[in-house]
Amino acid sequence: MHKVGILGAGAMGAGIAQVAATAGWSVQLIDVDLDTATRAIEGVSARLKRSVDKGRINQETATAIQKRLHASTVSELSECDLFIEAIVEDMDIKVSAMLPVVEAIPNSSIIATNTSSLSVSELGQRLGQAHRTCGMHFFNPAPVMRLVEVVKGSRTNPENVDRVADIALSWGKQVARCADTPGFIVNRVARPYYLEAFRCLEEGIDGPDAIDDVMKRLGGFRMGPFELTDFIGHDVNTATTRTVWEQWNRPTRLTPSFAQEQLVAEGTLGRKTGCGVYDWSGEAPVAVLGPAQECCTVNASVVSAARLFAEGVGQSTAFTDRQSVALTRILSAVINEASWALHDGVADQADIDIAMQAGVNYPHGPFAWAEHIGLDLVAETLAVLNTTTDDGRFVTPPVSN
């Protein structure tokens, strides 16, 4: 039986342990002490019991999965094929906790980190193990979310990247391979979905209900940008935006939204505090954040471009021009960010599309969206948005030969 050692038995480590054990791997779960790891395994067992109660798995399967989960210590990792780190997001703490692991595991085993925002290359180099250190970026909750971003550090041996990708696939995940860059794929390409929606709100293009509505019913997204950020939590969402924006040297495209940061400053963080863009205290959410400037005029050439773009997306006749403008701006900005990510060498088109579909449930990947809408139409729309916007955030990447 294959063995994986997992350091960190929090939300992610416990979830990854469940995924690996479900796929038939023996799991050694480690935390600051055995009790913490044991409690995490009890948490997984409780989840498995709920799955049995709901008829999703049978008792025999649940028992077999539980038997493969072991609370462990670093010194017991001498036979693991793979080691995954999922502790606190701090480079120095990760390095000091992982150095003893490097001593304990076989030379042939792969070292993976679940980091969302730290450099995989720097971690590998500081461990003295750059050739066998990769990113294995799961999404929360790991047993439910389909995607793993497999990250190649600048000096990771490609064979080790292939092995990690194969393991993730054998664990039932979809894999998107990417370079070691800030936000990897998903946390970068998804930014404009939130940011451009807030910019539409700030400019008074339309209200949250109308924008969420068009993104769901015409765009096919499961959640509109405002209900989604209320669900994620504006503190978490803006922190990711800030990190990605800073690490990419503050491109205008990814500039944090003033209105969203204001929500954080006021402690209206979304569903978890009962209020964010919407008030969630009643039976149905009620928008509390309105358009900043009621009835702003929208540039006529943008409206014309948005009508064509929205028609390219689908049956747009049931939506107002303002809704079409919001959809056009948000979706074009996502497609443009995907193009910049491609240009920056983050990943190839297929991996970016897989990542956005499996990682954040987009109805299509950004490149598939662009094909569907029409590449020329998307290019023309971005050109109109660029000439009518003064901060340059719709500038497209240079075309490579």
Annotated active-site residue in 114, 121, 137, 237: 137
Comparing CB distances to ligand NAD, the nearer of 103 and 266 is 103
Please select the residue that binds ligand NAD; options are 58, 75, 78, 140, rule is CB under 6 A. Answer: 140
> 116 catalytic, yes or no?
yes
5 binds ligand NAD (CB under 6 A): no
10 binds ligand NAD (CB under 6 A): yes
104 binds ligand NAD (CB under 6 A): no
> 26 catalytic, yes or no?
no
Q: Is 388 helix (H, G, I), strand (E, B) or coil?
A: coil
Nearest to 28 by CA among 125, 130, 121, 105: 105
159 binds ligand NAD (CB under 6 A): no
8 A C-beta contact, residue 180 and residue 247: no
110 binds ligand NAD (CB under 6 A): no
Comparing CB distances to ligand NAD, the nearer of 109 and 115 is 115
8 A C-beta contact, residue 160 and residue 132: yes
- Say how far apart CA 351 and CA 365 lie, in whole Å: 9
> 149 catalytic, yes or no?
yes
93 binds ligand NAD (CB under 6 A): yes
Size of the site for ligand NAD (CB under 6 A): 22
**Most distant CA atoms of the chain, gap in Å:** 68
Give residue 216's identity as a one-letter amino acid code: K
Annotated active-site residue in 72, 119, 121, 187: 187
Residue written as token pair 């096919």 = 220
Annotated active-site residue in 26, 72, 109, 116: 116
- Say how far apart CA 209 and CA 281 lie, in whole Å: 16
CB of 236 to ligand NAD, least distance (A): 8
296 binds ligand NAD (CB under 6 A): no
Nearest to 87 by CA among 2, 180, 14, 154: 14
Q: Indicate if the alpha-carbon torsion angle 304, 309, 315, 321 is positive or negative.
A: negative
Nearest to 374 by CA among 327, 316, 310: 310
Which of 83-91, 103-111, 151-159, 358-366 is the region at the interface with ligand NAD (rule: CB under 6 A)? 83-91
CB of 66 to ligand NAD, least distance (A): 19
CA 215 → CA 193, 210, 275, 289, 379, distances in Å? Answer: 10, 9, 21, 18, 20
Phi, psi (5° rounding) for residue 219?
-75, -25
CB of 316 to ligand NAD, least distance (A): 35
72 binds ligand NAD (CB under 6 A): no
355 binds ligand NAD (CB under 6 A): no
> 78 catalytic, yes or no?
no
223 binds ligand NAD (CB under 6 A): no
110-113 and 82-85 beta bridge pairing: parallel
Comparing CB distances to ligand NAD, the nearer of 208 and 276 is 276
Nearest to 218 by CA among 78, 42, 373, 31: 373
8 A C-beta contact, residue 82 and residue 108: no
Annotated active-site residue in 72, 121, 149, 227: 149
CB of 59 to ligand NAD, least distance (A): 28
Comparing CB distances to ligand NAD, the nearer of 114 and 160 is 114
Distance of CA 29 to the CA centre of its chain: 24
- Say how far apart CA 259 and CA 238 lie, in whole Å: 11
CB of 194 to ligand NAD, least distance (A): 16
143 binds ligand NAD (CB under 6 A): no
Please select the residue that binds ligand NAD; options are 86, 150, 195, 354, rule is CB under 6 A. Answer: 86
3-7 and 133-138 beta bridge pairing: unpaired
358 binds ligand NAD (CB under 6 A): no
- Say how far apart CA 128 and CA 130 lie, in whole Å: 6
Among all residues, whose Cβ is closest to ligand NAD? 10
Comparing CB distances to ligand NAD, the nearer of 355 and 385 is 355
Please select the residue that binds ligand NAD; options are 48, 80, 87, 334, rule is CB under 6 A. Answer: 87
- Say how far apart CA 213 and CA 197 lie, in whole Å: 12
Q: How many helices (H) and strands (E) does the chain have?
A: 17, 10
Per-residue contact string for residues 14-53; x = within reach of ligand NAD by CB under 6 A: -----------------xx---x-----------------
Which residues make up the interface to ligand NAD (CB under 6 A)? 7-13, 31-32, 36, 86-89, 93, 97, 114-116, 138-140
Residues annotated as catalytic are 116, 137, 149, 187
